[in-house]
Structures are given as structure tokens and as C-alpha cells.
Amino acid sequence: MYHNKTVAVVIPAYNEEKQIRMVIETIPDFVDRIIVINDNSTDRTAEIVQTIITGQKRSEVTITPIPASMARTLYNEAEVILTEQQHKEKMHFTPSRIENTDPENARIILINHLQNAGVGAAIATGYKWCKDHSIDCTAVMAGDGQMDPNELESIIKPVIDENIDYVKGNRLIHRSAWLVIPRVRFFGNSILSILTKIASGYWHVSDTQTGYTAISLKGLQALRLYDIYPKYGMPNDILVKLNIAFCTLKEVEIKPIYRIGEKSKMKLLRVIPKISFLLFKSFFKRLWIKYLFRDFHPLFLLYHLSIVLFFCMIPVGYIILDKVISGRSITFQSLIVFIFLFISTFQSVLFAMWMDMQDNERLYKN
């Protein structure tokens, strides 16, 4: 435990037989549960984890799952419905099997996915176990060894001591970032970070792609975990969902770690277009849910007004361009209309973004 709060680490693993032992064995002692999600690996990942479990002693901290039902009273119908829903939602997750004979008392828990589903789905399965067992703080560490276990305390501390809902490690503010992070990944991370700022509403977050995170129990309960994007877009998707739920966020400086034997399975040229489209959809989902259905805000109108004006501007701009190319004269009226639409579009977007930043300032903690 850490400051009398339960702590778990979720480790998504796919074909990590070379690194998984090192990752598990270097996790600090204050971690009560290590949840390894083997995403249907084709190598010896599961076998190695099982070997480590066999040699482990029983955990000193017993963690039991929440009851399947609770007694109804006049005033607890909402809690009863949530408890029932929490148990029913298991059918929406990737089919899996817990391999431990005594998971309530084991420090290391191995959950095998019965089919490969992706890193996001593996984390969702681990999150589900932690939510069902009311873990106070749940961190995520990759199974490839790219996250320093000595930095875990700084990741979980804001969740436990400051009541922050979600903490992300930030590699880009470390003084070695430009020297250590491969140029292609630095560039790809920068593009996705800009898009994620706009889509999520967390305008100050800079390293959106890091997987070294910690989340509070409140944060877990605020999410539909089975609806988290199952592939590499999971860090981006979860930021949007957390923002819709008004969850607070903080970034903590961590060092970038590469060239320690890990082998990246992410193909940037394939991932960036998919995540970009995901963020495009998520942006409008956030606007409609957060700023129309839950609590109306003028930025909802301004964002949509800018889109309408932009599409009105396109045909006018096309007519002007066509006349310029063909050598015909441009009418004064056409030019005025284009300038008006351009300025109105720009102003609408600018004011909408400014309002978005102002409204979400309260959710980002320094």
C-alpha cells in the first residue's frame, strides 16, 4: 500500500518473453497487485509469468471483489443499479481467463485474453479487474520495459495525495527528449499531441502518447471501460472520455527510454491516420455530450458556426480562383463575400478555442 491506499499496476503484454520478467521483478514493493494481461501472445510470455507466480508468496493485503448485489433501501436505487451494471458489463470485454488459483491473495495476477485484441483492450481488462476490486490507484506500465519503475511513485503520488483523477508521464519535457526519442516518433507524437489537445479539451497536455499513467478509482468509475479504443489510439481516446466526465489531469516528468531490448509493434504510417480519424469523431462527441446535453456552452455554437461558414466559403473561393486562373475579372461583391466568410470562420474558431481553453483550465493541474 502507499499512504494507506491500495495500488495496482496493469501490464499489457503481447509477445514480451524477453522483457516481462524484468518488468515484473523491478516493480516497487508498495504495489499491492500486478495485473498482467497476456493479449494472446504466441511466445512464452504467459509461461514466464506463471513461473514467477509459482515462486511468489501470498500477498499481505487481501483484496476482495465488490459484492454482486446489495440490499435495496428507499434511497440507494442509483447505487444498486450501478452495481448490477458493473457485473453485467463483463460480457462486453474481450473474452479472458484468470489463471491464478487464488487471485484474491496473489500479488501477481495473470489474465489471459482468449483472442488478440490490442493494447487498449488489454488495459481495459486490467482496469476492469481493478475497478471490480475497488483499487484506489491503478497505474499502467508496458510489458516491454520502456518505463522506469523508479518513477512509479511520482506517477501515483498525485492520485493518492492530491486527489488527481488521471496522471500521465511526460517524456517531452525531459532535457534528453530530443537526444533520445527517435526523430520519426518525436514527429509523430507531436502531430498526435496537437490533434489530441483539440479533440480532448486538455489543451495543456503535451505528451499524449505515453502509456505510463495512473488513474484513480473515481476515474475508472467515470468511464465505460469496455468502450475504450482497443488499439494504439487508447491514450488519445481515454483523454477525451475523461474530459467529458470532468476528470482532473496532471503530467509528471519522466525520462524517455529506448534501446533496452524492446521491439515496437506500432507502425506510425498506419496508426496516425486511424488515430486522427478517431480524434475527429471524438471531438464532435465531446462537444455534443459535454457542451450541449450535459451543460450548454456558447462554444458549441461557435465551433459549428465556423464549420458552416467554412463550407459556405469553399464555393465562393472556388469561383474566385477559377476566375483568376482563366484571366477573368473578379467582382467586388464576390471578393467582399469571400473576405467576410474567411474572417467570420477564423474568428468563430478562434473564440471557440479560447472558450474551450478557459473552460477546461480547471481540469489541468500543475
Closest residue by Cα to residue 32 from 95, 90, 96, 108? 108
Amino acid at residue number 197:
K
User: Within this chain, do residues 258 and 308 fall inside the same structural domain, yes or no?
Assistant: no
Domain span at 157: 7-293
Number of helices (H) and strands (E), helices first, in the chain?
12, 9
Ranges of H-type helices in 115-253: 119-132, 152-161, 177-180, 183-200, 217-221, 234-244
**Residue 95: which CATH number?**
3.90.550.10
What's the pLDDT band for 263 if we cut at 50, 70, 90?
Answer: low
User: Within this chain, do residues 192 and 313 fall inside the same structural domain, yes or no?
Assistant: no
Lowest mean pLDDT among 4-18, 34-48, 183-197: 183-197
- Please report whether residue 181 resides in a domain: yes
User: Within this chain, do residues 172 and 230 fall inside the same structural domain, yes or no?
Assistant: yes
Lowest mean pLDDT among 161-165, 187-191, 248-252: 187-191
User: Within this chain, do residues 220 and 86 fall inside the same structural domain, yes or no?
Assistant: yes
Whether pLDDT at 89 is above 90: no
User: Within this chain, do residues 289 and 301 fall inside the same structural domain, yes or no?
Assistant: no
More confident residue, 59 or 128: 128
**Last residue within a domain, chosen from 278, 293, 308:** 293
Q: For residue range 274-291, what is the model confidence (pLDDT) as tens digits?
A: 888 999 999 999 999 999
**Last residue within a domain, chosen from 271, 293, 315:** 293
User: Within this chain, do residues 278 and 310 fall inside the same structural domain, yes or no?
Assistant: no
**Last residue within a domain, chosen from 273, 293, 313:** 293
- Please report whether residue 1 resides in a domain: no
Whether pLDDT at 261 is above 60: no
Q: Collapsing DSSP states into helix, strand and coil, what is residue 44?
A: coil
Lowest mean pLDDT among 108-117, 254-263, 272-281: 254-263
User: Within this chain, do residues 259 and 332 fall inside the same structural domain, yes or no?
Assistant: no
Q: For residue range 22-75, what is the model confidence (pLDDT) as tens digits?
A: 999 999 999 999 999 999 999 999 999 999 998 887 777 878 788 777 788 888
Is the overall model pTM greater than 0.75, yes or no? Answer: yes
The whole-number pLDDT of residue 79 equals 86
User: Within this chain, do residues 215 and 313 fall inside the same structural domain, yes or no?
Assistant: no
Whether pLDDT at 186 is above 90: no
Pairwise CA distance, residues 255 & 272, whole Å: 23
User: Within this chain, do residues 342 and 221 fall inside the same structural domain, yes or no?
Assistant: no
**Average pLDDT of the chain to the nearest whole number:** 90
User: Within this chain, do residues 360 and 216 fall inside the same structural domain, yes or no?
Assistant: no
